[in-house]
Amino acid sequence: MKKISKNVGMYIVLIVLVVSLVNVFLGPDSAKKTTQNEVMPYSTFLSEVNSGNVTKVKIDHEQLTGTLKSGKQFTTYILDAATLPSIVAEKGVEVEVVPPPKNSWLTALLTSLLPTLLLIGVWIYFIYNMQGGGSKVMGFAKSKAKLFLDNRPKVTFADVAGCDESKEELEEVVQFLKDPAKFTKLGAKVPRGVLLLGAPGTGKTLLSRAVAGEADVPFFSISGSDFVEMFVGVGAARVRDLFEQARKYQPCIIFIDEIDAVGRHRGAGLGGGHDEREQTLNQLLVEMDGFEAGSGIILIAATNRPDILDPALLRPGRFDRQVVVDRPDVNGRRDILKVHLRDMKIEHDVDLDVIARRTPGFVGADLANLVNEAALLAARRDKEMLGMPEFEEAIDRVMAGPERKSRIISKKEREIIAYHEAGHALVAAKIKGSDPVHKISIIPRGHMALGYTLQLPEEDRFLISRQELADKICVLLGGRVAESICFGDVTTGASNDLERATQIARQMVTQFGMSDKLGLVTLGRKQHEVFLGHDIVDDRNYSEEVAHTIDLEIRAIVDGSMNKAKEILTENRERLEEITRLLLEKEILEGDELDELLGYPKKEHPGESAAEDKPQDGGDKPEDKEKENEDGDAPDAEAVIHQVPDIEEADSGNFNAPIDEER
C-alpha cells in the first residue's frame, strides 16, 4: 500500500491506458466476423441480383455479405444502405439487416477525458518527485520531523562528557518532564525553550538526545532547513503540523537543529527579506507563545550563530534559557577520550592525560575523529591494539594533515626550510614566557605546509598581555630573520607569518588600545554580516591623519619584534646551526630534544590534578579573536571560544604550495 500511495500518479496513468486498450480490442467492432470472403464490385453485385444469382444477403452498415446460388459467399460495400434492402427484396432475395450498434458510454467518456487524465496523472507524478518522496502526494504541509517513540535515543548523560555545566542546566528540564508537579506546586515555570549555543562539534545534538533519553519521553527531531520549501506557505504549515503532533504526545521534546536557517533576523539583507522564511519564523513565534502552561512540550534548539537570530526568538517566554556548550578543557578532553575508547582495545602505555594536553582547542567531534584516525593507523599496521605512536601520528594528521614524503624537494629548498623552522623554534625557546616548543618538522604535510613548528601552551588562558603579543610576533618573524641571516636573502615561505604578524600588530593598535600615541581608543568597526543589513564596508571612524599614525605604529611594533628576533638569532648562531643540522638529519625534533640541545632541564608535565596544567587552547591568539568576533562565536577579546591550533600556534613556517612551483 505504501508503494501504491507513493506512485499513485503513475498508477492512474497505467489504469487509463489499460482501459483504453480494452475498449479498443474488445469493443463492438472487435466482435465482427473476421472470415475473409471474396470482395465483389458493387456493379457486379447489382448485375448478379438482376440475373437472380443471389439467394441471400446480409446488410451491416455499409458492408454487405451475400451468397450466390452456387453457394459461393462474397462481400461488397454499399452506399445506399437505406433503400437497397427494398430493391433487393423485390428480386426475391432473402434480406437480413443488422441494426446499428449503440456506442458505449464508457468509450465516449474515455475518448473525451483521456488526454486530460493523462496530463493530470503526469503532473501529480512530477509534483511527488519534487517532494523527494518523503511524504504522501500533495502532503506539502506535513512536518518532516522524525518521531522517536519506542526507538527513542538510548543516549544518556553518561555518554556525554566535557560539558558538565551544560548537563547541569539540562538536568532541570529532565526533572520537569519526569515530575512536573514538583515545580508547578510552587508556582515555578520551567523554560519553554532551551537554546544550545556552541561551536560546531561540541555536542549540542548529543546533549538534546541525552535529555530525551534521560526523560524517557517522545522525541521529535527536525532540521531548520526542513521547514522551508519552494511553495509559499509550506514552512508555516509545517510548523503548525509539528506542534499539533507534539500536543498528541506530550510530554515530549522537540529538537530543531541549526535553527539559524529559519530563525535569522527578519527584515534584513540586501534587497529585502525572505518572505517565506519570515512567515515560517512568525508561525514558530506564535506556536511558542501558544504553549499552554504545564503542557509538557519542551523546545530545544541548537545553533552556532546566535548573533544572527531574531531578537523576538530570544526573548523570555520563548527561548528562556541559553545553554553554552563550550569547547572542553584538558579534563573535559580526557573524559571525552574515555567515552570514545570504551569499546576499543588500547595498550597500557596510552596516556590519556598526554593526549588531552596535546589537543588544545579540540571539540568532541575532533576527538572522535582523532580516535578513529588512530584506529585506522593501527589497522593499517596490522596491530591488535591502539598504542601511543598511533595517537601521536593521528594528532599530527588531524592538526597538520598527512605526511607527503613523496613530494620531491631540492636539497637547497630543504635546507632553507630547516633554517626557517629552526629560527622559529630557537626564538620561541629563548623568549621567556613563550609557549614551549613541542615539535619541529620539515616533512611536508597537507596541501600547503612544507614544515611546521608546533607550540603547545601549558595552561588554559583567556587573557594575553601586550608583551606576550609582541613576543608572538617575534616568534612568527623568527623564520624570516633566520633565512636573512644564513643566506643573505629571503623567500616567499614567510608570507603567512608576515600576514599573521601584521594582523596581531593591527589589533594591538586598533582594538586593544596598546598604542601609546593613539591611546585607549578603538578605531574602526567591522560589520561583516552583509546579509543582516549591516554595512558592506568597514566603518572607518577616524581621519586620514589617524590612519597614517596607525600604519606607523603597526610598522614600529613589527620592526621592534623583528629586531629582537634578529638579536636572539645572531647571539645564538651556533645553536641555530646545530638545530638545523639535526633537523636535516632526523627531519623531526621533539621538544625534549630541543631542550636538551639548548641545555634546558627536562620538563615535567604535571598530572591532571594540578590546575595549572590545563593546556591553553590558543584562544588568546588575536587572529583567532578576530575570526571569532566575525563569526559571532565570542563576544570580546577577554572571553574567547577556543580555536583549534592550525599548525601554528606555532608558527608553521607555512611554505605554501606555490613556492614549490616557483622553485
First to last CA, the chain: 67
Q: Helix or strand or coil: residue 423?
A: helix
Mind telling me the catalytic residues? 421
- Cα dihedral 398, 401, 404, 410 in deg (nearest 10): -130
| Cell triple for 338 | 574515555
| 439: β partners | 454, 590
Q: What distances in angstroms separate CA 458 from CA 87, 106, 334, 473, 517, one per listed residue?
A: 123, 87, 16, 19, 34
Among left, alpha and beta (phi > 0; psi -120 to 50; other), residue 138 is left
Rounded CA gap, 249 and 239, in Å? 16
* C-alpha cell of residue 564: 629582537
Nearest to 250, CA basis, from 219, 208, 213: 219
Distance in angstroms (rounded) separating the CA atoms of residues 407 and 660: 9
C-alpha cell at 592: 625534549
* H or E element at residue 181: helix 181-184
- Residues 217/252, Cβ–Cβ less than 8 Å: yes
The neighbour count for residue 480, using CB atoms within 10 Å, is 24
Plot region of 593 (φ>0 → left; ψ -120 to 50 → alpha; else → beta): alpha
Q: Is 138 helix (H, G, I), strand (E, B) or coil?
A: coil
> Which letter does DSSP use for residue 532 in this model?
G
Residues 333, 330: Cα–Cα separation, whole Å? 5
| H, E, C per residue of 456-509 | CCCCCCCCCCHHHHHHHHHHHHHHHHHHHHHHCCCCHHHHHHHHHHHHHHHHHH
Q: What angle do CA 41, 42, 48 make, to 5 degrees?
A: 90
Q: Which three cell numbers stand for residue 217?
A: 519521553
CB burial string 41-62: b at 16+ within 10 A, e below: eeeebbebbeeeebeebbbbee
How far is the C-alpha of 303 from the C-alpha of 310, rounded, in Å? 13
Residue-wise over 229-257: b if at least 16 C-beta within 10 A, else e? beeeebbbbbbbbbbebbeebbbbbbbbb
